[in-house]
Amino acid sequence: MESNLSCLSSLKEDDNPVYVQPHYKEAYRLAIYALLCGGKDAYEEFLRAEQISHFLSEEEILFILEHVELPTLDDDSEGRQVTNEGRPSTYFPIESDDEVPNLDLGWPGVRVEDTDTSISLLFHPPRQNTPTIKEVIRKQIQQARQLIAIAMDVFTDVDIFKDIINAVLRGVVVYILLDESQFKSFHTMSHKVGVNIQDLKNMCIRTVEGQQYQCQSGMKFHGGLEQKFILVDCRTVVYGTYSYTWSYEKINLSMVLVVTGQLVSSYDEEFRRLYARSVVPEALSIQQPVHYLRNTVGLQRPSSSQLSLHQIHMRSRVMHGMRTAQDDRRRGRLPLSRMKQSCCIVFGLFVGLFGCYRGEPHSLLIG
């Protein structure tokens, strides 16, 4: 199916635009603050007091409580003080002063702006007389000549990984951006098949976090990478709901678009934007010895040339003394006494903000 890019967009100006209410709601911000400070009970009590409908699913509540990072605290003569004062709760990430990392392995200059866009739709399980999604992805990798750029949430498919390694060995540049929380599974998979990805000079692996939400108290959490696409030679994109795992090959329902032509330039730009906010995984920042397995993927052992890593950006950590809270977060609850220490500086402000609402907020944090 072929069409011009202008025919694909539904974002054209409308003579009669429909007004959409702004998404930001102050009551939601305060409810999330109550959740972080007092847990699920405090969150639900605030909703009842303010007569607000539930806006978080059970899965979202659990995710927030498990992934919240406590603020960094400093010692001074008056006791422990929250260092992140004055920052409002926000759905947007804090601007970083770090320089944008360069695409050190190179990027082909391919112009596709004057080429008509072609889009094919594939499903899993496949429709009659159509290839499987995995077959199309593997064929694209095997035919790559200059570049393979992958943005993926989860990558544990050994067959696709083997094709990627073969592409690297024949000189193709490979960039892989993974969801930060899923990197460990990819790293473990590569070790199990006997490949040390740090030895491959043509491959760059980095991780990406989603948007960050930060409260005025300094408590914060971030989302994940949900984009799933592969860009080959800056000419073809396979984009959709298919993740590179056994489950997506065998049991999950999914679909992808195979795109060529003018629209590919948008994916080209998006990948480079994702790369600009990516970081080198901590596990790859230090060379570690790896015991190779024999006859696992049918490949020659990669050369031992070292991967040159520039502009290493380490993930921020919670300071020493607050790390014990991690075990509590894994159980889905934050210790209330510890949260009170983090929230003490902004508690007065929090109560003041609640003043315009109908309910009594004090019981949320001390009840």
CA nearest 332: which of 70, 58, 57? 58
User: Are residue 192 and residue 278 in the same domain, yes or no?
Assistant: yes
Of 233, 264, 284, the residue at which a domain comes to its end is 284
Looking at per-residue pLDDT, the higher value among 254 and 358 belongs to 254
Please list the alpha-helical segments (H only) found in the chain.
5-8, 26-50, 58-67, 133-143, 158-169, 183-192, 246-250, 264-276, 325-330, 336-343, 347-354, 362-366
pTM: 0.69
- As a whole number, the mean pLDDT across the chain is 76
User: Are residue 54 and residue 158 in the same domain, yes or no?
Assistant: no
User: Are residue 84 and residue 129 in the same domain, yes or no?
Assistant: no
Torsion, CA 87, CA 101, CA 316, CA 27, rounded to 10: 30
Has residue 126 been placed in a domain?
yes
pLDDT at 76: 46
In which band, very low, low, confident or very high, does the pLDDT at 70 lie, cut at 50, 70 and 90?
A: confident
User: Are residue 58 and residue 203 in the same domain, yes or no?
Assistant: no
In which band, very low, low, confident or very high, does the pLDDT at 15 lie, cut at 50, 70 and 90?
A: low
Of 262, 284, 306, the residue at which a domain comes to its end is 284
pLDDT at 132: 96
In angstroms, rounded to a whole number, what is the distance separating the alpha carbons of residues 198 and 284? 7
Looking at per-residue pLDDT, the higher value among 42 and 307 belongs to 42
User: Are residue 207 and residue 172 in the same domain, yes or no?
Assistant: yes
For residue 266, the tally of other CB atoms under 10 A from its CB is: 13
Is the pLDDT confidence value at 291 over 50? no
User: Are residue 277 and residue 180 in the same domain, yes or no?
Assistant: yes
User: Are residue 184 and residue 333 in the same domain, yes or no?
Assistant: no
Which residues share a beta bridge with 251? Answer: none
Is the pLDDT confidence value at 23 over 90? no
Of 22-36, 42-56, 177-191, the range with the lowest mean pLDDT is 22-36
User: Are residue 52 and residue 141 in the same domain, yes or no?
Assistant: no
User: Are residue 278 and residue 195 in the same domain, yes or no?
Assistant: yes
Evaluated on CA atoms 328, 334, 339, 340, the torsion sign reads negative
CATH of the domain at 159: 3.30.870.10
User: Are residue 156 and residue 259 in the same domain, yes or no?
Assistant: yes
In which band, very low, low, confident or very high, does the pLDDT at 343 lie, cut at 50, 70 and 90?
A: low
User: Are residue 236 and residue 186 in the same domain, yes or no?
Assistant: yes
Is the pLDDT confidence value at 37 over 80? yes
Question: Whole domain around residue 257: which residue ranges?
Answer: 117-211+221-284
pLDDT at 189: 95
For residue 135, the tally of other CB atoms under 10 A from its CB is: 13
In angstroms, rounded to a whole number, what is the distance separating the alpha carbons of residues 79 and 128? 70
In the structure encoding, which two tokens stand for residue 66, read together? 């498990």
In which band, very low, low, confident or very high, does the pLDDT at 333 lie, cut at 50, 70 and 90?
A: very low
User: Are residue 85 and residue 121 in the same domain, yes or no?
Assistant: no
Q: In the predicted model, what is the mean pLDDT of residues 190-208? A: 93
pLDDT at 284: 86
How many domains does the chain fold into? 2
